[in-house]
Amino acid sequence: MKKIILCLLFISGCNQEQTTSPETYNEVESTGKLVPDFIKSAHYFSSAWPITFWQEFEKDDVAGELQQIKNDGFNTIVLIVPWRGFEIGFDKNQTQSNQILYERLGFVLNGIVENDLSFILRLGFPHYHMPDTKTYALEQCIGIYTDGKTQNQWADYLEKIKQTITPFQKSSAGILVSWEDFWCPHTLFPSWDEEKRLELAQSMGYGDWLQQQNQNIVKVLLQQNHINFNQVRVPQPADLSYVLYMDFIDQKFAKDVLKPAQSVFPNAAMEIRVDQLGVKQNDQYTWIAHDLHLEEKNLRGTYWAPFWGAENKGELISAEQALMNFDYLLKMVTNNGENTHHVLEQFNFYDNTVHYPNHANIIPDEIGDFLLAAGPLLKKYSKGFGVWAYRDYHDNAILNGSFEMGTQGWLIEGQTEIKTNQQDQSLYMQAGSSITQSLLADKRFKLLENYQDISICLVADAATVLEVKVDGVILKEWQVQPQQSCTKVSADPFRLNASIDFSLTAQSPVLIDEIKLFGFTQVLGLYDANGKPSKHIEVYRKLNAL
């Protein structure tokens, strides 16, 4: 029997005087870029979360937020750029660009450059829920490995991103494509029935690939002397041949995702997969690694959290044990320091990912000690590091909750109007007007079945009463106050139907903005979800200053 240890890292992640000395930069002669010698990065999601960031951020907030990030000692911004959403109409051979989102990408890049920061783009993020995409994440994932139309759409998206970022290219510290964004061959294909696994093996060319490998090894691992390669299926994790399938998918990713990206962006590389496959023989495990791209000259991406290398039984580990695990990972992804050209852009020293409640964490009082002790290791074994959740964020189920895309995604009843203040849009509601958004609640929230309550927050310009409804049933008459207001309702009505209608009805005129509907908050502990300094920011500034 075999066991896969999946380290899926999807956490997904106050004005101060400048605390660090001026950055040292290298002029990269071959590209003309000006990039930091050592990258200290933060993923930027403003007050939104990754899935809704590009629709939701307020332009008026960007300059101040980027300046705050710089003041905290960071020199590089990581932006997650969805494929589905930036491109729409995937039912056609050629997709159509969502010009609003491309314009907003250019706006943020311009703010980054004006703050003398560098940027890294992670391209291909699959999580975006607007209906006009005419596809879904799994369909894209299957298509990138099996379908020429999808592969051509990927190449077209890359070219359009290039057009947008060309004016800012001098500040580009790297381009990443992540295995995590094209996850289905590992987490889904092996679990499907035999007929589907046969179909996928044929459409991906798995049998043809097996014929090109060492046939003695193939026979031993497939446990067959006479192999009909046209009838080979995608194996299951318990199959000995799964180690061959791992190699095959790693190579397919490089061919179908990474190489097209590198043909458009010469500085592109992979956010590599750092978890390993445990093959058990008797009472001993042999750990099989994925392709770590140790020959890559471009800046690879890596990640770490305290659960990596831990038992993950809900335990708290000491700073000393966490450092041992961290040291082991850094040596592994650099081949004992031979290729340190990677940025550990998801250095997530605390993890509260809702899907994995038993993940290990560092003893809270020892996190500061761990961070400062990690500094020399990062300097020795990497070209930089960063955080996913610079600011804690909610799993907001509402799309276009800041009305930056007008009323897209909303059904309007009664008299309403989009109002613009400088670069910020809000929605004015007359008395009796209502707004409704249809949503698949189990898809929009992180883990709906675990929630007891659903929180609702918004910003209003005046006191009013809002009727909160699900499928036309009033859950609450909410006394909203000026500025930000929050309330809670039971999560039960959100679980009643696969698709629900969430509505707000105003009893008096009001201007509303920044609607959030959530059940979970991703926490790292630098800033809370309201942008207030949290418990780890001071020590993290010290780490950046090292």
Same domain, 371 and 446: no
- Specify if 200 maps to a domain: no
User: Among 17-31, 309-323, 495-509, where is mean pLDDT lowest?
Assistant: 17-31
Q: Which residue do the tokens 């409704």 mark? A: 436
Q: How far apart are CA 145 and CA 151, in angstroms?
A: 8
Same domain, 462 and 387: no
- Specify if 480 maps to a domain: yes
For the cut 80, the answer to whether the pLDDT of residue 5 exceeds it is no
**Model confidence, pTM:** 0.91
Same domain, 390 and 419: no
Reported as a single tens digit per residue, the pLDDT across 241-261 is: 999 999 999 999 999 999 999
Residue 307's pLDDT is 94
- Residue from 394, 400, 393, 391 nearest 513 by CA: 400
Residue 125's pLDDT is 94
For the cut 80, the answer to whether the pLDDT of residue 108 exceeds it is yes
Same domain, 79 and 29: yes
For the cut 60, the answer to whether the pLDDT of residue 339 exceeds it is yes
DSSP label of 429: E
Same domain, 470 and 381: no
Same domain, 386 and 482: no
Reported as a single tens digit per residue, the pLDDT across 164-205 is: 999 999 999 999 999 999 999 999 999 999 999 999 999 999
Q: How many Cβ atoms sit within 10 Å of the Cβ of residue 444?
A: 23
Same domain, 291 and 377: yes
Q: What's the whole-number mean pLDDT along residues 258-283?
A: 92
Q: Residues 325, 309: contact at Cβ < 8 Å? A: yes
Q: Which domain holds residue 141?
A: 2-182+265-394
User: Among 60-64, 283-287, 447-451, where is mean pLDDT lowest?
Assistant: 283-287
- Specify if 254 maps to a domain: no
For residues 76, 77, 83, 88, the Cα torsion angle rounded to the nearest 10 degrees is: -140
Same domain, 421 and 366: no
Residue 23's pLDDT is 52
Same domain, 468 and 389: no
E strands, 86-179, are: 87-88, 96-97, 118-125, 172-178
Same domain, 275 and 368: yes
For the cut 60, the answer to whether the pLDDT of residue 450 exceeds it is yes
For the cut 70, the answer to whether the pLDDT of residue 467 exceeds it is yes
The domain spanning residue 29 has which CATH number? 3.20.20
For the cut 50, the answer to whether the pLDDT of residue 129 exceeds it is yes
- Specify if 257 maps to a domain: no
Residue 27's pLDDT is 40
Same domain, 23 and 149: yes
The domain spanning residue 449 has which CATH number? 2.60.120.260
Q: Residues 375, 546: contact at Cβ < 8 Å? A: yes
- Where does a domain end: 394, 419, 437? 394
- Specify if 526 maps to a domain: no
pLDDT category at 20 given cuts 50, 70, 90 is very low
The DSSP result for 17-84, as a single string, is ---SPPPPEEEETTTTEEEESSEEEEE--TTS-TTTHHHH--HHHHHHHHHHHHHTT--EEEEEEESB
Amino acid at 249: I
Average pLDDT over the chain, rounded to whole? 92
Number of domains into which the chain is organized: 2
Distances (CA, A) of 104 to 59, 158, 336: 8, 17, 41
Q: How far apart are CA 438 and CA 132, in angstroms?
A: 14
Same domain, 348 and 490: no
